[in-house]
């Protein structure tokens, strides 16, 4: 195991270099209390920190910003969120992906509101006991919301540490080593600011393809910069190619404009979300499973969408039906209350693709 000293610097050197840099260059984020406000006595709201951390799993600040504003405007406290209808929360989450997170978000809000009087636990262990909060998220909330010296790891932190110590073992095998390094470097003074400083460094300077080493506050410490391999790190074990699955989505429009949707089963992909009735998604040719016995129009269109573990090719079938038609599956939703934006991305893509292709248009 390498350590800071064998690299020619002490374990507190990165924090000593990063904290003054963070004081000048911290990103303004809607859930963040910046260094100046912190110094003036303002404290982060654990609800906002938690919400941002759940939303940021697997995605970027840019993708999350609008969702965060909408959620906090509509549900300004964890108690308000706990009282929300499941379907409303799922609809607001639509488009962010990884829908199990939205279900766990509600579960967690209800546990905090019901069992903890609306107050988040302020330790890593206490936070990990809550639904949907794993080790990374617990460490991040403990550090950012409660200034605990928790070792926070995310993609940005892994990249910065891989480079600072020139770790050549590929990810994910290097994770335990990187975590041990993160623990060594986490300071007892201002650990929350330090955690955010490393994340900001990774997001703004130590970026994946072209690290801006010339303006980096830890350049004098960085082993990868010295050896000229910064842009090659972290190394990654090549991923297996993803399989392709096939499916059919059945889009039905009634004469009065209502559309046929069904709620997907709670367990499984897009669980609990509204979507178009359809076949299973499998690697074989999909078996017909239309939700109504009507003539189906094949517009020759398919949605292409990539999930974590597979690519999907979803063929469309369209039907226009009279107002008194009764489906075998799903429910008609009046056009006035149907919001395509409340559908998961793959379902919204299907809706967008169908426009202009309906049989009667
Ligand atoms: Fe990243 Fe370059 Fe800074 Fe090293 S010197 S931490 S590679 S930006």
Percent of the chain's residues with pLDDT above 90: 85
Q: What is the mean pLDDT of residues 112-128?
A: 97
Q: What is the mean pLDDT of residues 137-163?
A: 97
pLDDT of 2: 52
pLDDT of 287: 82
Task: Answer yes or no: is the C-beta of 191 below 6 A from any ligand 1 atom.
Answer: no
Alpha-carbon distance of 207 to 203, in angstroms, equals 6
Decide if pLDDT at 3 tops 60: no
Name the token pair of 351: 């809706």
Band of the pLDDT at 239, cuts 50, 70, 90?
A: confident
Can you give the CATH number for the domain in which 131 is found?
A: 1.10.340.30
Question: CB under 8 Å to 229, separation ≥6 — which residues?
Answer: 166, 168
CA-nearest of 193, 121, 122 to 152 is 193
Same domain, 292 and 320: yes
Whether 311 maps to a domain, the answer reads: yes
Task: Answer yes or no: is the C-beta of 206 below 6 A from any ligand 1 atom.
Answer: yes
Same domain, 224 and 272: no
Same domain, 154 and 128: yes
Task: Answer yes or no: is the C-beta of 350 below 6 A from any ligand 1 atom.
Answer: no
Percent of the chain's residues with pLDDT above 70: 98
Question: CB under 8 Å to 76, separation ≥6 — which residues?
Answer: none
Q: Which atom of ligand 1 is nearest to the CA of 230?
A: 7
Band of the pLDDT at 259, cuts 50, 70, 90?
A: very high
**Which range marks the domain in which residue 112 is found?**
13-232
* Least-confidence region, from 21-25, 143-147, 180-184, 305-309: 305-309
Taking the centre of ligand 1 as the mean of its atom positions, its distance from the CA of residue 237, in whole angstroms, is 22
Same domain, 22 and 154: yes
Taking the centre of ligand 1 as the mean of its atom positions, its distance from the CA of residue 204, in whole angstroms, is 11
Inter-residue contact 319 to 252 (CB < 8 Å): yes
Which of these three, 232, 255, 284, is where a domain ends? Answer: 232
Task: Answer yes or no: is the C-beta of 164 below 6 A from any ligand 1 atom.
Answer: yes
Decide if pLDDT at 6 tops 60: no
Which of these three, 198, 232, 266, is where a domain ends? Answer: 232
Can you give the CATH number for the domain in which 281 is found?
A: 3.90.79.10
- Please confirm, yes or no, whether 262 is among the known catalytic residues: no
Q: Mean pLDDT across the chain, nearest whole number?
A: 94
Which of these three, 189, 211, 232, is where a domain ends? Answer: 232
pLDDT of 1: 43
Q: Tell how many helices (H) and how many strands (E) occur in the chain.
A: 14, 6
Same domain, 62 and 193: yes
Same domain, 330 and 205: no
* pTM check: above 0.85: no
Same domain, 200 and 265: no
Count of domains observed in the chain: 2
pLDDT of 359: 81
Q: Which atom of ligand 1 is nearest to the CA of 218?
A: 3
């Amino acid at each position: 195991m390498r350590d800071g000293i064998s690299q020619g610097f002490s374990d507190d050197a990165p924090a000593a270099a990063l904290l003054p840099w963070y004081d000048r260059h911290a990103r303004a984020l809607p859930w963040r209390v910046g260094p100046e406000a912190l110094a003036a006595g303002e404290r982060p709201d654990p609800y906002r920190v938690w919400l941002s951390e759940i939303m940021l799993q697997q995605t970027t600040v840019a993708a999350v910003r609008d969702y965060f504003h909408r959620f906090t405007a509509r549900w300004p406290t964890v108690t308000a969120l706990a009282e929300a209808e499941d379907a409303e929360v799922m609809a607001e989450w639509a488009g962010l992906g990884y829908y199990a997170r939205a279900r766990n978000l509600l579960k967690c809000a209800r546990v905090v509101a019901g069992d903890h009087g609306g107050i988040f636990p302020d330790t890593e262990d206490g936070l990990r006991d809550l639904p949907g909060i794993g080790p990374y998220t617990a460490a991040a909330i403990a550090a950012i919301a409660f200034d605990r010296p928790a070792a926070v790891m995310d993609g940005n932190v892994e990249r910065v540490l891989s480079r600072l110590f020139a770790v050549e073992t590929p990810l994910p095998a290097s994770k335990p080593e990187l975590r041990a390094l993160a623990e060594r470097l986490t300071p007892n003074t201002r650990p929350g600011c330090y955690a955010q400083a490393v994340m900001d460094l990774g997001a703004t300077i130590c970026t994946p393809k072209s690290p801006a080493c010339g303006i980096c506050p830890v350049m004098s410490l960085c082993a990868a910069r010295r050896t000229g391999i910064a842009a090659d790190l972290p190394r990654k074990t090549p991923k297996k190619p993803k399989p392709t699955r096939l499916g059919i989505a059945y889009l039905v429009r009634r004469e009065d404009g209502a559309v046929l949707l069904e709620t997907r089963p709670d367990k499984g992909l897009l669980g609990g979300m509204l979507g178009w009735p359809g076949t299973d998604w499998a690697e074989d040719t999909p078996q017909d499973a239309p939700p109504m016995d009507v003539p189906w129009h094949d517009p020759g269109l398919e949605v292409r969408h990539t999930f974590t573990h597979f690519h999907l090719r979803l063929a469309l079938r369209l039907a226009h039906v009279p107002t008194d038609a009764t489906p075998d599956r799903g429910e008609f939703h009046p056009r006035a209350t149907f919001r395509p934006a409340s559908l998961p991305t793959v379902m919204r893509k299907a809706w967008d693709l169908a426009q202009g292709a309906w049989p009667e248009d």
